[in-house]
Amino acid sequence: MNKRKKFGQHFLKSKTIAKSIVSNAKITRNDVVLEVGTGHGILIPYMCKNAKKVYSIESDRRLHISAKSNFDYSNLVLEHGDGFNSRHDFSIFISNLPYSKSRFAIEWLLQKKFSRAVIMVQAEFAEKLISKEEHKAISVLANHGFRIKFLMNVKKSNFIPMPKVDSMIILLEKKKIVPKQLISTVNKIFSYRRKTLQNILKQFNLSITSKKRLDELSGDEIIKIAQKITRS
């Protein structure tokens, strides 16, 4: 199986959409941009136009080498490796995320200090983040750490190879850094989502008399419970 297809990576071919992604990032001369997944470099010219510095990291060596030969901007640093292992400080994050990395990327971003991120993800995943009707651990965490704004739908025909589903571009504006322990605790709470709140808290050696279930609580209430658990 093609490595890129295996990990759910599809390359954007529309320059109009590429321009829109970068435009919504509102990059200024004071911004350092981190892009995870250089791909064919469709975003690079637009990111480099206004940024103080752009770090673009690609895990596929052939794509990295190709980008090195095709792009030469004084404010561009191209690196080969896993972008989520990067130690670069950045104010703007931009990525056409592989579908298989979307959740991991959100949890990684929650722990980082930055201003905003413009990311393209599978439409179904974006809807989970934005939805107020059905709680998921990742949506509770994301809405705790970010202000989330829908930007645009992207049809599958805009990618090579063409995926089976459409994508969505969303803006994440940072509200607060979310500690790794809190992320882990919220995920653990949701592993017991069929239990009552009383029985969930028992798993953490805490006592409460509430018979409510997670679906009856707001995201903020779930976060407060998780914070109580982390302090215990």
Question: Which pLDDT score is estimated for 8?
Answer: 52
Task: Determine the structural domain holding residue 196 and report its residue range.
Answer: 181-231
Residue 78 · residue 64 · CB < 8 Å: yes
Confidence (pLDDT) at 130: 86
Q: Which of 160, 177, 194 is the last residue of a domain?
A: 177
Distance CA 53, CA 208 (A): 51
Let me know whether 30 and 94 are in one domain. Answer: yes
Do residues 153 and 147 make contact, with C-beta atoms less than 8 angstroms apart?
Answer: no
Q: CA 223 to CA 140: how far, in whole Å?
A: 8
- In what helix (H) or strand (E) does residue 106 lie, and over which residues does it extend? helix 102-110
The enclosing domain of 39 has a CATH number of 3.40.50.150
Token representation of residue 116: 């905003």
pLDDT of residue 14: 97
pLDDT at 232: 84
Residue 161: cis peptide before it, omega within 30 degrees of 0: yes
> Domain total for the chain?
2
Q: What is the pTM of this model?
A: 0.93
Residue 99 shares a structural domain with residue 188: no
Within 8 A by CB and 6+ apart from 1, the residues are none
Q: Are residues 79 and 129 in the same domain?
A: yes
Q: Are residues 108 and 48 in the same domain?
A: yes
**Which residue pairs from 148-151 have beta carbons closer than 8 angstroms and sit at least 24 positions apart in sequence?**
148/172, 149/173, 150/126, 151/20, 151/24, 151/118
Residue 88 and residue 191 in one domain = no
Spell out, as residue ranges, where the chain has pLDDT lower than 70: 1-8
Cβ-based neighbours of 167, under 8 Å, separated by 6 or more: 120, 121, 122, 123, 126, 153, 154, 156, 158, 159
212 and 159 share a domain? no
pLDDT for res 4: 44
What does the pLDDT read at residue 71? 98
Residues 171 and 208 reside in one and the same domain: no
Which pLDDT score, from 0 to 100, does residue 7 have?
A: 47
The Cα 9–Cα 114 span in angstroms is 25
Statement to judge: residues 151 and 187 lie in one domain? no
Dist CA 21 CA 36 (whole Å): 14
Looking at the fold, whether 139 and 167 belong to one and the same domain comes out as yes
> CB-based contacts of 199: which residues, under 8 Å, 6+ apart?
192
- 3-class DSSP state for residue 103? helix
Asked if residues 170 and 116 have their Cβ atoms less than 8 Å apart, the reply is: no
